[in-house]
Structures are given as C-alpha cells and as structure tokens.
Structure 1
Amino acid sequence: MTSRLADVIGRRRSWRSLRSAPALLLLPVTLIVVITVVDVQAPTDVHLGPTLVIAPAITPSFAGPRTTAAVGALATGAQALIGVTHGGIGTLNHIVQIITLAVLSVLCVLYSALRRRRLAQLAQVRTVAEAAQHVLMWPLPEHIGPLRIASLYLAAEDEAQIGGDLYAATVSDGAVRVLIGDVRGKGLSAIGEAALVLGAFRESGHRHMPLVELAAALDQSVSRYAADLEPAEEAGERFATALMVEIPDSDPVTRMTSCGHPPPLLLSPGHVVTVPSLHPSPPLGVHPGADRTLDVFSFEPGDTLLLYTDGVVEARDARGRFYPLAERAARWTEERPEALMHHLRRDLLAHAGGRLDDDAALIALHRTPVDRHRHHDRGGGVETRRAGSGTESRQHTA
C-alpha cells in the first residue's frame, strides 16, 4: 500500500516537472522573437506589438511567477525595441503600448502566483485523499492460497479512486474469503457506508464462523449504523448489496452467499462462461435478521471466477445499450487474471465512451492447479442451505 501511494506521488511530481520543463519556455520566447522581427520589418502603419501580451499570458499555464515575470519583462523590452525602430520610443502610441503591456504582465504574474498556490493546495488535498482511499481500500494480494487474484476499480467521480463499491479478502480456516459489495450512492459521498461494511468484514471475516453467519453479522452492523446515524429523511435508504465467496484450499468448490448482489461469472477454458444459480437474500440493512442462503458449486483448477458490481453491467453506450459482460468476458477466458482485467477495463471504458455513470469494480479469482483429494462433478452441482432452517436441498444447473 505504501509503495502504491509513493508511485502515485512520484507520477504527480514527474508530471509537474514535465510541465515546467525548459522546452515549454521556448514557446513564449519564440513568440516574442517572431512578433518583434515581423513588426520591425513590417511597414510603419502595421502594429503587431500589442500581440506580445500573448507570451506572458500563456506562461502561467506551465511556469511560476518568476518565469512569468521574466517573460513579461522580455515582452515589454521587445515592445520598446519596436518603438525605437518605428518613429521613436517617446511617441504617445508607443508609450501607451509599453505601459499597457507592462501592466498586463504584472497581472499575469499575480495570476501565476495565485494559480501556483492553488495548485499546491490541490495537490496536497489529492495526496491526502489518495492516502485515505488506499488505507480504506487495501489492495488485494496477487496470490492467496490456491488463487491468483486481480482486481479493477473505476470510480465514477473525477479524482476519486474509490466510492460506493468495495471489496476485500481474508483467510479463514483453510479457505479464502472474498467480499465484493455496492452501497447505495456513488463516489466520495458513499465512502462512509463502504468503510462500515469493509470494517465489519475485516473484523469478522477471518473467524471460523459459517458464511451465512458472517452475512448476518454484516447485516447487523449496517442495520445498527442506519438505526443510530441515519437521518430521518433518509430512513430505509441506507443499504448495501454484498456477495461473499469462500473458496477452500483443498476442495474445488465455491461457497457463496449473495445479499442482493449480481451473480458472478464462471470462466472456463475454451471460452465457456456460465452463471452459477444463486438464491440471493435481501441486501444488507433492508430486513434485519433475514435468512441467508448458502450456495455451493464447482470451481475447478483452471477456472476463473469473475465478481463484479452492477456499475459494470449497467454501463451504457451511446445507444443506451448495457455492457454485455458475459459476452465480452468469453473472449478472454484463457487469459491470466491481470490480462483479463486489462482487457475488460479497456473494453468497458470504450463501451461507455470513456466515462462511467456509476462506480464499477471487478475481481478475477483464478484457481491454480493443486493436488486434489476429492473430485467434484463439473456438471454444476449446486448445494443450497438456508441459515436457521435446519433443512438442506440440492439442485443441479445445466
């Protein structure tokens, strides 16, 4: 996490140094030289000197007050040189032009100083915001147990790296548990609720409790937060969808509990994409104490489980068509998780015209080959248990 933040700050510093590179200073200096030479060579009834103000006017876009002042002084000197060659510097016309250019250059210097201060404040705020965002949304490791993991987060708001979508992973009793969720709202305004769900999962996710009990614990946290802190005008509007996945290290299966969240995609070699049959329960915070369902299905080595939030499948193109995630993901079932995320990111943004209307998150969980002591039929057996019911049923999907 620290290295990622250092990379962000390093890229920003590199960009600032590029913007203030001496090469950019050639533009206003060249303008001054060209305008001066052309004006000196032009007939006396042609006056190009007033256009010299362009040079100090554009300098604050990439340089500070001192450089802007130097360019302004150079432009004013060039205006004086033009006056000497065109009837003398003491003429009223040239005096007015020189004074006007000097005043405008001073204003450009003041603007440059204010702009530089504003940029410094904005850079500090962005750095602090990015640090806070990285503290909240911990990067997922590339490897956990038998899984190779890659993730993607696209925030709807500019300058934000997280928002209403969330994900986390932990290890519990010989299994990997992964959470992906979506709180009501988007962008920075939804970070508070996202932090609540993430904190509850990190507190309880590693404990040796069944997945349905973990879902109940998260539901209690969200409901308690809503009851204690939710404004009266927003009663009943604070909730979150969540999908919790538990992948044992030794058995090629996946246990899953969905709280109103979209089902994942199972990508298999040969460009095969299937949608596991789930039995979702209400979102977190909607019906406290609601029964939670546990679904179990095959997850063989070589398969990739693709988790996502609704911001992905609800992204629209210029014609209003939703993003066909299953169809597009089928193209890259043979790819490693990192490459899969790269392809999906580029394809999703191209579909949405470069900007999303809602936060979007994806996680690719690739099961690497391991020694298996038990073999489960790839026919897609689904085992369903309902919390608190004491009953068990089995279904099979095609």
Structure 2
Amino acid sequence: MSRPGHGHLTARRTALVDSHGFEAPRPPAWLRWLPLAYVVVVVLLEPVTPTPWPVSFLLVALPVAAAYTLGPVSVAAVTVFAVVLEGVLAGLTCCIHLLWESHHVAAYISTALVGVLGVALAAHRQRTERHLVRANSVAEALMRTLLRPVPHRVGQVRAAGLYRAGEVGTMVGGDLYDIRATEAGERAVIGDVRGKGLKAVRTVAGILGAFREAAYDQRDLPSVAMRLERSMAREAAEIPDDELFVTAALVEHDAAAQRVTIVNHGHIEPVLISRGEVTALTGPPVLPLGLGALADEPPVAYTHPFVPGDVLLLCTDGLVEARDHTGAFYPLLDRLRHRFAGGSAPGPADVIDFLNTDLPRHTRVFHDDVAILALAPDGDPHGR
C-alpha cells in the first residue's frame, strides 16, 4: 500500500483545470475578494470623511487589484465598471456638468490606461501559471514513475509506504524508497538526497536505478551499498558537485533466518515495533553515499531478529524533524510507544495510517520531504 504525496499529510488543494487538463492552484480567498473589498472601501470612504474630496480617483488602482486573480476579459470588464463608477461618484459629490472637467477626464483616462496594463498583466499571469503547472505536472509524473507504488506484499514481507514532498503543492522532492524481492531475500532502501526540488530528482533517479539493478546482482547487502556508492561518485563527477551525498538505509530480509540485515549510511536508524516494544536499531556508523572516498573501510552491516508480528519502520528526517508551534521535533519513538505499546501486533498499513494522521496534529507546515516505509514478515497472526 502506498500513499505518495497525498492523504492527511498534505493540505487539500482547490484547483482550476485548464483546457489541457492541467491543474492550476486557486488563489487564496482573500485575494479573490480583494477587488470587491476595494470597491466597498472606496464607496464607504467618502461619507465618513469630514470634507468632500474626489474619492473616485482611488478607483484608478482597481484594474490592477483585479489582475491578480481575474482573467484578461474580466479585468477589461472591471476597468469599464471602474470608469462608470468614477463618473457616478463624481456626480454625487459635485454638479453633473462638472463631470467632464479636466481632472475628472484625466481620472477616466488614467483608469483606462491602467486597465490596459491590468489586462496585459492578467494575460501574462495566466501564461506563466500554465507554464509552471505543466512543468510541475511533468515533474510529478516523473516522480511517480521513480517512486513506484509499494505493493501490499513483496516476496515474503508485507509493506506500506508514504511519501510527501516538502515543496508545497507538488510531489517533487529528494526523498526516495523502494523494495525488491530477490533470491537473497527482500531488499529495501530509503534515502534522502542533499537538496530539494527538481535538482534532487536526477539524483533520486540515479540512486533508485542503481539499487534496482544492484539488488538483484549483488551477493550481499554491503556489495549493494558499494554499488550505490560508485553510482553516486559518477553522478557527482558528471554534475559536477563535490558536496553531493545521500543518507540512506539499506535493509535485507532473510525469511529463513528470521532476521534483517541493515547497512546505514548516515541515515535515521530503523525503528522496530516488536511485542509492544519500540526500539531504534543502531549499528556501526557509515558515511553517507557519495562520501565513501573519505573512508578507507567498506560499509559494515549489522543484523537483528525479525519475526512474525514485528514491523520495521524506515523514515527520512522530514518525519522526525517536523516541528510543532513551540519548535519541538516530532517524538517518533514516544508516539509509536503511546499508540502500539501493549496492544496487538500492528501491520505495516496500521503504522503508516497512524503516522499519516498523527503527524499533521503535531505540525501544520512541512518544510522537508517525508518518506516512510513499513515492513513486516509474512506470518502475522492477524493476517494484515
């Protein structure tokens, strides 16, 4: 089960769909009501002022206010309305025969000129929005291709995944995960690329491509890790970027031995939920992928029992570093203990659903990508 970039972790977006089927975000409500509010303020301003003055001159700015949200045709209509309203307000504050005095005529002409500029601004804004929306749609399609949905079952494990990008309103980000069933067992990776947005997508593609090939070819997990390290070195040389790196955790499940093998490249420790206990699985430290040239030793793997009823949780720092209004980080281990300690053995989907609901209660605004992968061996007594 996979929930890539949607669900409770993302705010609901109200969007407009153009003729090509691309969704453009709807402007905030206060901006949509700005032209009407501006007119109301202008109309109410004249009666409350102690001395008469040509308040209608303020309507010169109305077409520009409308250009922020309306289309070119609507802005043109607002411009005509503004000129007419200027005449009406001028007639109410002075004699009818004075409506064509030079200063009033100058106001009409100024409003019309500003309206022309507003029409051009609205047309340019719409073209830019369509371009950005289409570019973002292509990037999202690429990201969905890279981060393929996590199947409910992969080999001899059950799985669930969740992805949310830190970029508001988009799925593009620098976090990654994948799981593959191989002859050596089920192998999974979760990682966090340095950087965000479109620049990180290339590195995500490189790492996932290397993993999906190495997972089937390499005899053990450290060999898979070394393959990813070489891929990162080539990527950094091609960009070039001497500071390019990826924190990643690699996991291999051995069903016969009922254990998992882990290689952790500077990533957040995997969390094991077992018999009501929640434990971070720490092991030998390894430098992030891309920085292997700084170390003389190959990556070191460590193992831990993994039996039916257990759930292994892999996540990126966007989860544990999500802050509440006081600046406190999300207490992952404490929240998992509060929810699952002493209860029946959860399934991967249970853990993902809990985090998908609980995290937004802790933080309203997400500043980093969030990727979560939950795994459990087959044989869970509840069959979830």
TM-score in terms of structure 2 length: 0.75
Q: Distance in 2 between matches of 1:305 and 1:94?
A: 74
Work out which of the residue numbers 341, 344, 354 in structure 1 matches 2:355: 344
Which amino acid in the other structure matches residue 16 of structure 2? R
Cα separation, partners in 2 of 1:60 and 1:220, compared to 1, 3 Å: same
Which amino acid in the other structure matches residue 180 of structure 1? I
| 1:329 has 2:331 as partner | no
Cα separation, partners in 2 of 1:43 and 1:273, compared to 1, 3 Å: closer
Q: Aligned-pair distance for 1:66?
A: 0.3
Cα separation, partners in 2 of 1:13 and 1:297, compared to 1, 3 Å: same
Residue 68 of structure 1 contacts residue 108 of structure 1 at CA under 8 Å; is this kept in 2? yes
Aligned position for 2:20? none
Which amino acid in the other structure matches residue 205 of structure 1? A
Residue 184 of structure 2 contacts residue 220 of structure 2 at CA under 8 Å; is this kept in 1? no
Aligned position for 2:84? 77
SS of 1:279's partner is: coil
- Equivalences for 1:230-309 in 2 at 5 Å? 231=240, 234=242, 237-248=243-254, 252-270=258-276, 272-285=277-290, 286-287=292-293, 290-309=297-316
Which amino acid in the other structure matches residue 57 of structure 1? V
Q: Distance in 2 between matches of 1:310 and 1:51?
A: 51
* Higher relative contact order structure (alpha carbons within 8 Å, sequence separation ≥ 6): 2
Which amino acid in the other structure matches residue 300 of structure 1? V
Q: Aligned-pair distance for 1:184?
A: 3.9
RMSD: 4.2
> Larger Cα Rg: Structure 1 or Structure 2?
1
| 1:355 has 2:366 as partner | yes
| 1:87 has 2:130 as partner | no
| 1:219 has 2:229 as partner | yes
Aligned position for 2:109? 99
Structure 2, gaps ≥5 residues long: 18-22
Aligned position for 1:65? 72
Q: Distance in 1 between matches of 2:332 and 2:122?
A: 47
Work out which of the residue numbers 47, 56, 74 in structure 2 matches 1:49: 56
Cα separation, partners in 2 of 1:97 and 1:290, compared to 1, 3 Å: same
SS of 1:194's partner is: helix
Q: Distance in 2 between matches of 1:154 and 1:70?
A: 41
CA deviations over 1:169-222 (Å, ceiling 9, x no partner): 111127321111234444443333332221111112134732232223223333
Residue 239 of structure 1 contacts residue 283 of structure 1 at CA under 8 Å; is this kept in 2? yes
Q: Distance in 2 between matches of 1:153 and 1:186?
A: 14
Q: Distance in 2 between matches of 1:364 and 1:140?
A: 10
SS of 1:206's partner is: helix
- Equivalences for 1:24-173 in 2 at 5 Å? 28=35, 45-53=52-60, 55-85=62-92, 86-88=94-96, 89-158=99-168, 161-173=171-183
Residue 24 of structure 2 contacts residue 129 of structure 2 at CA under 8 Å; is this kept in 1? no
Cα separation, partners in 2 of 1:323 and 1:40, compared to 1, 3 Å: closer
Cα separation, partners in 2 of 1:108 and 1:249, compared to 1, 3 Å: same
CA deviations over 1:290-317 (Å, ceiling 9, x no partner): 4343433222223211112344445556
Identity among equivalent positions (%) equals 33
Cα separation, partners in 2 of 1:200 and 1:46, compared to 1, 3 Å: same
Q: Aligned-pair distance for 1:276?
A: 2.8
CA deviations over 1:149-182 (Å, ceiling 9, x no partner): 3333344455653444321111112732111123
Work out which of the residue numbers 366, 370, 383 in structure 1 matches 2:376: 366
Q: Distance in 2 between matches of 1:348 and 1:240?
A: 24
Aligned position for 1:229? 238
Which amino acid in the other structure matches residue 241 of structure 1? T
CA deviations over 1:348-389 (Å, ceiling 9, x no partner): 566566233x54432122345358xxxxxxxxxxxxxxxxxx
Structure 1, gaps ≥5 residues long: 372-398
Which amino acid in the other structure matches residue 261 of structure 2? R
Q: Distance in 1 between matches of 2:61 and 2:111?
A: 10
Aligned length: 361
Cα separation, partners in 2 of 1:72 and 1:43, compared to 1, 3 Å: farther
CA deviations over 1:113-140 (Å, ceiling 9, x no partner): 2211221221122112222222333232
